[in-house]
Every structure is written in C-alpha cells, then in structure tokens.
Amino acid sequence: MSETPSTDAPTNAKQRVALVTGAAGGLGREFAIALARRGHLVAGLDLADQSGTAELVGESFHPVRADVTDPDEVQAAVEEAAARFGGLHILVNNAGVYPPLEFEETTLEDWRRIMRVNLDGPFLVTRAALPHMKAAGWGRVVNIVSAVVFLGPPDLVAYTTSKAGLVGFTRALSSAVGGHGITVNAISPGLTRTETAARTTGADGGFERVRDLQVIRAVEEPGDLVSTLLYVCDEGSGFLTGQTINIDGGSAKH
Ligand SMILES: NC(=O)c1ccc[n+]([C@@H]2O[C@H](COP(=O)([O-])OP(=O)(O)OC[C@H]3O[C@@H](n4cnc5c(N)ncnc54)[C@H](O)[C@@H]3O)[C@@H](O)[C@H]2O)c1
C-alpha cells in the first residue's frame, strides 16, 4: 500500500475532480491515493468508513457515504462530491464483491446481490456522474473488471458474469458518450493482494497458486495497477476508449 501522497503534481497535469467507489480500502484506497498524488481532488464513495483513506490522502480527499445499489443514495453522494469540489471529471467504478461460490449452490439471491453491486452499481454511479462530465466537455470513466472474464474460474461463475457485463457496459457506453469528450475504459486486474482477496480467493495458498500460473512470478499488489489507471485518466489519453486493459502478470494473453 502506498505511503502518504506528496502534493506535487506533474507541471503539465490539469487538476481534475475524481470519484472513486469502494475507496475505504483495497484497490479503491490505492487508486484514491494515486489520483491525489497526481494532483487531483478525490471523493471516495463507500458504505464503509473511509477515515483510513482520508488520513492517508489528506485535504484533497472528501468521503461520501452511499450504497452503490441505492439510486437515491448514489445521486445524493455524487451531488455532494461534485458540490464539494466544483465538478466531477473522473469516475473509477471500483466497488465490487467477489465471493467464491459453487455454481450449483448459488442461490438466486446470491446471484442478484453480485449483479446488483457489480453491475447496477456502476450503472447508477455513472448515470449520476455523466451530467457533470458533459458540462465540463471532458471525462474519464474507468471500470474495474477482472481477469476472470478471460480465465473463467469454476468457483466464480456469478462474479465472472457480472464483470463480463461490465466489459460490455464499457464498450457500449464509450460509443454513447464519446461525442462529449468522455472516454470509458476497463482495467482488469488478476488476483491482487488486498485484505478481502486474502480472506477469499487468495486464502489457503490461492495467491501462490495464481502466481505460479503467471508469466511474471510475483503476487500482484495494488500498486501494480496504478500506472495503468493514471495512463487511462491522463489528459493525453483522449483517443483511448472502449478498451479493456488486462494487468494480470501475463496469465491471460488478451
Ligand atoms: N483484489 C483482487 O484480487 C481483485 C482482482 C480483480 C478485480 N478486483 C475488483 O477490484 C475491486 C476492488 O477489490 P478489492 O480487493 O479492493 O475489494 P475490497 O473488498 O477491499 O474493496 C471493495 C470496497 O467496495 C465497498 N463496497 C462493497 N459493496 C458496496 C456497496 N454496495 N456500496 C458501496 N461500497 C461498497 C467495500 O466497502 C470496500 O471498501 C472489486 O470490484 C473487485 O471485483 C479485485
């Protein structure tokens, strides 16, 4: 995990306002820190307490509380973030759940819960954020999917389906909003060392098993995703849209 960010940004970078969902910990916290270090103002949206992230990022961070599956909470949280920083330009749809489940033991409620968080969530947050990006004539939507969409592991059928849906969302939405100077891309991490991954897919030697299937023989860390996030959000990346960039140490050759 990164240390406290410095406040200096590259001199050619414009200061933008970013909203990162699921910023209380894990990848979302890493992304919030990275965007702030790049010089952006960052709002974090989460159900959980974000004081740990706020402490690490400092004054350029504003936490808003919402369940991404609740349209009213999402709308209010997005408006609060935009009002706090005077606009909204970058959205990282990162909040997600990935419980391992045997397919035949998966209940309809399990299935719907995974779809609600991983698909309804990005839909609702993006829909609320777009008017602000359109008003600015510039935007970056970044959807965090997963290398499982290429690998299809047996215990993550519902999760894989939800993230494959988010790849489709990325492609079609990029066509719908490109005329407004807004790009939409997806980043697909492999198994990455976060607390949640350590409790679930990475438990019982899972990190090591996945590492041994990679070309790059190291456990993926949240920091391994940062350069790609910053590249996708860069002022100079306006011609990159509708793409899914896979960062999994070479397991899936996408
Ligand atoms: N860690 C990995 O191995 C890995 C690999 C590929 C993709 N991903 C994806 O990256 C994202 C982050 O994963 P992580 O490992 O950091 O997980 P995490 O559990 O550490 O973080 C997810 C965050 O989302 C928040 N969240 C969950 N449901 C929410 C809801 N309904 N409303 C608002 N916030 C909610 C949680 O409170 C949490 O802070 C997820 O979308 C996950 O599917 C993770």
Percent of the chain with pLDDT over 90: 94
Residue nearest to atom 13 of ligand 1 (CA): 27
Domain count, the chain: 1
Q: Residues with catalytic annotation?
A: 159
- 193 CA → ligand 1 middle, Å: 12
**Domain assignment of residue 93, yes or no:** yes
- 67 CA → ligand 1 middle, Å: 13
- 179 CA → ligand 1 middle, Å: 30
**Domain assignment of residue 10, yes or no:** no
Residue 2: per-residue pLDDT:
47
**Domain assignment of residue 200, yes or no:** no
- Ligand 1 atom closest to Cα of 202? 3
**Domain assignment of residue 207, yes or no:** no
Token readout for 44 is 């974090």
**Domain assignment of residue 143, yes or no:** yes
The boundaries of the domain holding residue 127 are 17-191+222-246
Q: Is the pLDDT of residue 99 over 70?
A: yes
CA distances (Å), origin 245, targets 143, 146, 157, 180, 252:
10, 10, 21, 22, 11
**Domain assignment of residue 201, yes or no:** no
**Domain assignment of residue 253, yes or no:** no
Token readout for 240 is 């990159």
Q: What is the mean pLDDT of residues 34-50?
A: 98
The model's confidence at residue 254, banded by pLDDT at 50, 70 and 90, is confident
